Amino acid sequence: MDVLEAIRTRRSFGRVSQEKVARETIEAILEAANWAPSHHGTEPWRFRVMTGEGRGVLAKAYGDIAVLGASEEERETVRAKAEAKAYRAPVVIAVSALPSDAPKVVRAEEFAATHAAVQNLLLAAHALGLAAIWRTGEPMYHPLMKQALGLAEAEELVGLIYLGKPAAPLPEGKRRPAAEKTVWLS
């Protein structure tokens, strides 16, 4: 699959089988992510790969965060529902940005570079026959999640990438033409 085809046909798709994904495939996807551009060559992206029982770290964090606002009667149900999110795919990759503190580095550019790494990751997963979805949401930004995943003080999560073999065909994509969103200054 060439890159233009991968860009056009990739979809965010979370319906995946629980079939194990080979470590070599995950490593190839991470290597593609690692080739994202970064200002000043800082390479601020970091990856925490959770498979098998390793997803329990994420499940516990989801559960601990969910029960904070729950009543005593709701806690068990709320915790179980939240913890189940960690097991929606056989592989979950927590992607974070660890911004450089070098003098000329702009913090926003460190996040832009990490987002580019996520896009590379998603395209590589698609090219290798996997489905993936980039998830965020309130629990991801909670201090308990940061603590559970062992993030450094200056490090921030940018996404939880769920991936696995697609459980159904990927949907067709739709986009308005780029010309509708483009201004030419000549």
What average pLDDT values come out for the chain (186 residues) when binned by 10 residues? 93 97 98 97 98 98 95 96 98 98 96 98 98 97 98 97 96 95 97
Are 127 and 6 contacting, i.e. CB atoms less than 8 angstroms apart?
A: yes
Q: Which two tokens stand for residue 100?
A: 């450089």
Residue 78 lies in a domain: yes
Residue 108 lies in a domain: yes
Residues in the chain: 186
Confidence (pLDDT) at 68:
95
Residue 130: which CATH number?
A: 3.40.109.10
Confidence (pLDDT) at 69:
85
Residue 186 lies in a domain: no
Residue 60 lies in a domain: yes
Residue 68 lies in a domain: yes
* Amino acid (1-letter code) at residue 31: E
Residue 63 lies in a domain: yes
Please count the structural domains in the chain.
Answer: 1
Q: Which two tokens stand for residue 42?
A: 């800082």
Q: Residue 45's domain spans which residues?
A: 3-181
| CB-based burial, 9-30: b 16+ in 10 Å, e otherwise | ebeebbebeeeebeeebbeebb
Residue 151 lies in a domain: yes
Spatial distance between the Cα atoms of 57 and 144, rounded to a whole number of angstroms? 11
Confidence (pLDDT) at 1:
84
Confidence (pLDDT) at 24:
98
Are 58 and 100 contacting, i.e. CB atoms less than 8 angstroms apart?
A: no
Residue 64 lies in a domain: yes
Cβ-based neighbour number of residue 120 at 10 Å: 20
